[in-house]
Each structure stands twice: as structure tokens, then as C-alpha cells.
Amino acid sequence: MSEKDSDHYQNQALTRLSPYESYVFDWLILEGAENDCTRWDDDSVTQLALEGLDIFLGCATTDDPNHVAEVAVLTECGAHWNAKGVWNRLSESLSVKPDGVWFDVTTSDRAHAWIVWSITGEELCGKDFDHTMKRFLEFARGVVELLNTTNWSD
């Protein structure tokens, strides 16, 4: 892909973001995230990479009208882990989970865990957004490390 084509796709991806998503996107870029908008076909999701984390940004998927955006970290758990085993392992993290954070586990040929933060407008515009976002990423990194350990079973 030429640099001109890459710039076109980058500009196209950025113009479809809501103002809320743009705010989170900008924060992630300023923290050093890299955006490769050619890696994801779904127009409603933007994928970024930051310090080994696969981060997805999009509109809120909850029924709560106060949620304005979502940021999620995806980890692939492996072929030998099933959803029950992943949920059992995640239960260890539930007691320290930040407010607004939830998990989803999907399986096909491999188990995947999503660590999702549904962001409210108040959180996004609040003075603690930077701290809360860093806390979410630190929590997500811990969960990814937990799920990527090899010495556990269902």
C-alpha cells in the first residue's frame, strides 16, 4: 500500500469517530499507541496497539444511555482453554475490577477474553480521565498476563 493510500485510510478512519471516541483515540495516541486502520474491517471499531496490548475503540454497546464510548483489550487465551476455564480464571480479577469494566469471553477455535470499559460522558469529561484510563490499562495488562500464564486448567 502506498503512503498516499495509507494516509487516505487513516483520514477516513478518523473522520468516522464520534467526538467521544476521538477524545479516547487522541489520549491513546498521546500515550504512544499505534493505529493501523487497515487491520480491521468493521467500520464501527478502531484498533490500536499500545505496549503489547490489542486495544479496540468504538461506540458503547450497553443499554445504558450514559455510556458514550467503549475501549476494550482483547487477549487470545489459547486452543486448550475453554470458556469455563477462562471465566474461572477471570473470577480472580473481579474483586479488583475498576467500575464500569466488564468481561466477555468468546470461543471458536481458541478462547478470547475481552476486557471492556464502558465509558460515561461524565468519566470522559472528568478531571480524573487520565488516571482512570491508566488504571484501566494497568488492570487489563494484569488480566492479560493472568490469562497468558500456562500453569492453569479448568
- Tell me the CATH number at 134: 3.30.1460
Say whether pLDDT at 13 is over 60.
Answer: no
Say whether pLDDT at 21 is over 70.
Answer: yes
So what's the pLDDT on residue 88?
75
The reply to whether 154 falls in a domain is no
Q: Could you tell me which residues are beta bridge partners of residue 55?
A: 48, 73
Other C-beta atoms closer than 10 Å to the C-beta of 108 total: 6
The reply to whether 57 falls in a domain is yes
The reply to whether 153 falls in a domain is no
Share of the chain above pLDDT 90, in %: 38
Residue 12's pLDDT band (cuts 50, 70, 90): very low
Say whether pLDDT at 103 is over 60.
Answer: yes
The reply to whether 137 falls in a domain is yes
**With contact defined as beta carbons under 8 Å apart, do 115 and 72 qualify?**
yes
Region 32-56: mean pLDDT is 78
CA dihedral 34, 36, 41, 47 (to 10 degrees): 0
When divided into structural domains, the chain yields a total of: 1
Say whether pLDDT at 42 is over 80.
Answer: no
So what's the pLDDT on residue 11?
46
- C-alpha separations of 71 from 5, 35, 67 in Å: 27, 14, 11
Instruction: Give the residue numbers spanning the domain of 126.
Output: 3-147
Region 122-132: mean pLDDT is 93
The reply to whether 98 falls in a domain is yes
Mean pLDDT of all residues in the chain?
A: 79
